Structure 1
Amino acid sequence: MPAYGFAHLHDRRPHPDIVEYLERIQDTLTPFHGRFRIHGGRTEVVEGSWTGNMVLIEFPDLATARAWYDSPAYEAIKRLRADHIDGDLVLVEGVGPDYDPAERARKLLADGGAGTAGTAS
């Protein structure tokens, strides 16, 4: 099942370290089969509010995403970004190609209602 590294970045402070980070990050991703799916593209807010930029990196699975984040190669460049861009980063498990939201609804109802909609199952 795929997994993703999702970052909501805001309060960017221009700095040469950011350029170095961008030049080096792909080399940290390649051994873990990580690939950018979103990298700060134009955002159109259709509900709610949103500020900042979004980054989405796909990995084969959650264990691989965690291994990348904890790798010595990424650890060596992480501060180049974190020292100059505030934000939130999460690793999240995706859904498989046969995911059925209606089946998820049936399971929630069987488990006692929609109150657990945000939990992993």
Structure 2
Amino acid sequence: MRLTPAQVAIRLITGESLRMATRDMTKAQRIREGHRMLVRICHCDHGYDLLAWHKELRKSNAGGYNWGGREGIPDRIQNALDDSNWRETVAELKRVDAERMARRKPKNA
């Protein structure tokens, strides 16, 4: 089965492994890579908010997202939201991201 760029990104941000391509990546690395891909595909940033990404992709059809006019939330998104390990991993990524931002120096300081 051939996946569109948006499908790959959603699978990664939900922490899924994509066979050979991501087998050596940690869940955190997959989530971060999925986020990076979504930002590049959509030209906006919803952080790790899966519902916001789903809404954005449905509206724009960016990256070949094919959920279309169907109602509801895709199972893989709902499964990630229900997964305490996924939520803990995302919380840690947000903490690390916030620390990095705090350490950055202002450009015109």
State the TM bucket, normalised to the shorter chain. under 0.3
Greater radius of gyration (CA):
1
Report the TM-score when normalising by structure 2.
0.27
- Higher relative CO (Cα under 8 Å, sequence separation at least 6) belongs to 1
Task: Name the structure with the higher helix share.
Answer: 2
Report the TM-score when normalising by structure 1.
0.25
